[in-house]
């Protein structure tokens, strides 16, 4: 029996010797051929595994996301050639659809996007979204910024906010309505220099799409005297057509008729 086991033990000793000959065991870790195992991680030809993530040729996987040629997947956002999926927005070649059917639908020859309120920049070749842009309209510089769920349009000291989708084309700023885009021809600063609003205290200006029109809703304060005696401040809302500049409606307290 002992003689029978001797060759087996000899073979095991040979295998152990070969294995030990091909590896290097140190305090830092174990190296076997092209593979290294340490407390930092595992490395092999083309592969690196650490506590930070996994890296293989052209692919990187970390706690922040996954990146590969042409693809970037992170928290709340997926990017691939021609496609972007992010919070409140979907971009793909060809169409623009709304989220839950609550926001306007825009279809153009370049791309389709979905969002609540956004800035859409259109060129002859493509259309894309942004959070901030400056545009020159009739020689006037206008800045457009998306902050949260609102878009802010600013020219000089005049600022307008809106929940509508803003389209920016060469030399034009327009708003998407139920019946298509309406170009804004009255800029914010021109609005504040209108005869009725000039030198008045403007509290807030909002841009709203109503059917086939886009209106500036201007909330401002007019100083007056009630019954020619008592100084008062009258809160007034004036609706002005952003395309024509016509005054569409004026709202004021009933008693304002007694003030001048």
Residue 130 predicted with pLDDT over 50: yes
What's the distance, Cα to Cα, between the start and end of the chain in Å? 123
How many domains does the chain divide into? 1
Beta bridge partners of 30: 25, 37
The per-residue DSSP string of 162-198 comes to ESSPEEEETTEEEEEETTEEEE--S-HHHHHTSTTTT
What pLDDT is recorded for position 105?
A: 39
Give a yes or no: residue 33 inside a domain.
Answer: no
Give a yes or no: residue 71 inside a domain.
Answer: no
Alpha carbon 148 to chain centroid, angstroms:
9
Give a yes or no: residue 9 inside a domain.
Answer: no
Query: Whole-angstrom Cα distance, residue 97 to residue 116?
Result: 11
- Residue range 133-143, pLDDT digits in tens: 777 777 778 88
Residue 155 predicted with pLDDT over 80: yes
What pLDDT is recorded for position 187?
A: 84
Pairing of strands 140-147, 77-80: unpaired
What pLDDT is recorded for position 29?
A: 66
Give a yes or no: residue 100 inside a domain.
Answer: yes
Beta bridge partners of 160: 153
Give a yes or no: residue 29 inside a domain.
Answer: no
Of 177, 157, 153, the C-alpha closest to 165 is: 177
Give a yes or no: residue 48 inside a domain.
Answer: no
What pLDDT is recorded for position 106?
A: 42
Query: Whole-angstrom Cα distance, residue 166 to residue 153?
Result: 10
Average pLDDT over the chain reads 71
Give a yes or no: residue 1 inside a domain.
Answer: no
Of 67, 53, 65, the C-alpha closest to 42 is: 53
Residue 182 predicted with pLDDT over 50: yes
Domain range spanning residue 112? 76-258
pTM: 0.51
Whole-number percent of the chain with pLDDT over 90: 2
Give a yes or no: residue 16 inside a domain.
Answer: no
- Residue range 220-231, pLDDT digits in tens: 888 888 888 888
What pLDDT is recorded for position 233?
A: 86
């Amino acid at each position: 029996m002992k003689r029978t086991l001797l060759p087996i033990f000899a073979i095991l000793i040979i295998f152990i010797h070969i294995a030990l000959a091909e590896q290097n065991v140190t305090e830092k870790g174990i190296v076997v051929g092209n593979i290294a195992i340490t407390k930092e991680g595992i490395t092999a030809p083309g592969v690196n595994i650490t506590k930070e993530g996994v890296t293989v040729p052209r692919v990187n996987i970390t706690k922040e996301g996954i990146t590969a040629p042409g693809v970037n997947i992170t928290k709340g956002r997926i990017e691939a050639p021609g496609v972007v999926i992010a919070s409140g927005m979907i971009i793909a070649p060809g169409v623009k659809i709304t989220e839950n059917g609550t926001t306007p639908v825009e279809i153009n020859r370049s791309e389709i996007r979905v969002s609540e309120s956004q800035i859409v920049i259109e060129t002859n070749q493509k259309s894309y979204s942004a959070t901030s842009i400056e545009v020159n309209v009739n020689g006037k510089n206008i800045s457009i910024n998306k902050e949260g769920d609102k878009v802010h349009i600013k020219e000089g000291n005049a600022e307008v906010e809106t929940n509508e989708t803003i389209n920016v084309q060469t030399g034009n700023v327009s708003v998407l309505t139920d019946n298509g885009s309406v170009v804004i021809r009255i800029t914010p600063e021109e609005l504040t220099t209108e005869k009725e609003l000039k030198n008045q205290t403007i509290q807030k200006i909002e841009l709203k799409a109503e059917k086939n029109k886009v209106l500036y809703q201007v909330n401002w304060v007019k100083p007056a005297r009630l019954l020619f005696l008592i100084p008062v401040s009258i809160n007034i809302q004036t609706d002005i057509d952003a395309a024509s500049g016509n005054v569409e409606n004026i709202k004021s307290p009933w008693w304002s008729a007694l003030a001048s």
